[in-house]
Amino acid sequence: MSRRLQVRRWVVGIVAILVSIVVFLVPFAFVVLQAAKTPAEASNLNFALPTKWVFFDNLVQVLQANDGIVITAFVNSIVLTVFSVAVMVVFSAMVGYVLQRKKTRWNPVINFFVLAGLIVPPAVVPTIWLLQGLGIFKTLFSGVVIEATFGLSFSILLFRAFVATIPRELDEAAVIDGAGPIRLFFQVVLPLLRPVIVTVIVVQSVAVFNDFQNPLYFLPGSDLATVQLTLYNFQSQTLSQFNLLFMDVLLITIPPLILYIFFNRQIVAGMTSGAIKG
């Protein structure tokens, strides 16, 4: 490797690090600083150290605001995220496997509807009418159904691409050994889908946990509030408590950040697994 090429790689690496710092770390540091300030200092929205650190006082105020609505919202968001992502993983893995392995005349039609799920925007009013007709509107169950439905298309595409990398000989060997379709999928195929399963879990968990639009429309009321909706508690047309608002933003940011830090390699592996074959 020539010296010029080594220098070029070092320069590209340094530039990438600097860009990452500016794009990600600087905004995060700004949020932390505002969350540690008094209301008067936070209202200035300047990038400066607080004269008096009241980080834990602001944390207590956020957790106690409106009878602990933030804690309730975290519980609701966790329940909503866990169940909706579980539904996505199971159903999208099944559909992705069938679409990749079983070539029928219905595949183009199914692929059309899968892609339509990524393109066509959700219809809010008809969806509310449907949920009301089923008697599940204003329930966490309806939130799980909505989040799982909106996330299926993306998950199916990932699973279908990954299944293409699994040799068909494994399916044939399992069938010869007497495995039925259910046993073939759950005992042979599903364990091999671990990289893309981790990818779907992390990506969709962050998407559901940070979702603002769907809970706003389909989960009205303080009892069903999610973490994103709690931001309304600290900002209004007449009063904005920026120190508490940024503390709430910091609390909401921590769980997705932890997921990405610990599973970033699995995310890349799952996203790129079907890029060559399939």
Write the pLDDT tens digit of every residue in 188-242. Answer: 888 888 888 988 998 899 999 999 989 989 988 888 899 998 888 777 655 678 8
Closest CA to 66 of 192, 195, 244, 242: 244
pLDDT at 276 over 50: no
What is the CA 213 to chain-centroid distance, rounded? 14
Task: Give dist(CA 65, CA 235) in Å, integer.
Answer: 13
Is 255 a residue whose pLDDT tops 70?
yes
Number of Cβ within a 10 Å radius of residue 22: 10
pLDDT band at 15 (very low <50, low <70, confident <90, very high): confident
Percent share of the chain, pLDDT over 70:
92
Q: Residue 184: its pLDDT value, please?
A: 86
- Superfamily the domain 66-272 falls into: MetI-like (1.10.3720.10)
The two structure tokens encoding residue 237: 């047309």
Q: Does pLDDT of 277 surpass 50? A: no
Region 92-118 average pLDDT? 87
Output the pLDDT for position 72.
Answer: 93
**For residues 69 and 231, what is the distance between their CA atoms, to the nearest angstrom?**
11
Is the pTM of the predicted complex or chain greater than 0.75? Answer: yes
Degrees, nearest 5: CA angle 232-225-240: 10
CA 67 to chain centre: 28
pLDDT band (50, 70, 90) for residue 187: confident
User: To 10 degrees, the CA torsion angle through 114, 116, 118, 122?
Assistant: -120
